[in-house]
Amino acid sequence: MLLFVGLGNPGAKYAGNRHNVGFMAVEAIAKRHGIAPWRRRFQGVACEGPLGGERVQLLLPGTFMNESGRAVAEATHFYKLALSDVVVFHDELDLPAAKMRVKAGGGIAGHNGLRSITEHIGNDYRRVRIGIGHPGVKELVHGYVLNDFAKSERAWVEALTGAIADNAELLARSEDASFQNKIHLAMDAKGFGGKEPPEAA
């Protein structure tokens, strides 16, 4: 069993926020692979189905971002999962918009959702870091992440979450490098390529 967690805030008022792109990615996976129905579980909503020859539990915590770890810990302990079986999809200010990176462990870069998960289960889970860009000034970050994607951004958001959904079976098989490469090629093909950011340390 694997656990794919999308990070975001519950409720319609947050649904289009940049901070909710993790929710968007996991919802796209569920839709593309016919994984349903969503049920109230693990302090959020969850659904389960086959993906890449593995059973995968998809989870959207309902705890609000800064308490995401409570929901993730409950599901992780219930299934007795290793941290390498937990994949967290989240927004990343330190990556340019429309870029994506996969990594295991590492820093939390001030992300309250990651901070909460690390406090509850440890740090060595896998992360799918979805770049949303940075507003340029630290003081603007809070408003930036809690605002909806601009109309001009929606095309790449849809392209990226769609590419993630299309290739999610590679993640389920722990083929993280292949998954990352496929996303890069898909975004290039859709015209959202451009200069690659340096690899995060």
List the catalytic residues.
Answer: 19
Instruction: Annotate 92-127 with DSSP letters as a single string.
Output: ETTS-TT-EEEEES---TT-HHHHHHHHHH-S-SEE
Alpha-carbon distance of 157 to 161, in angstroms, equals 6
Alpha-carbon distance of 184 to 44, in angstroms, equals 31
Q: Confirm if 104 and 127 have CB atoms less than 8 A apart.
A: yes
Q: Give the up-direction half-sphere exposure of residue 99: CA atoms within 13 A in the CB hemisphere.
A: 17
Residue 186, token pair as written in the block: 């898909």
Which of 93, 158, 162 has its CA nearest to residue 129? 93
Q: Which residues contact 138 (CB under 8 A, 6 or more apart)?
A: none
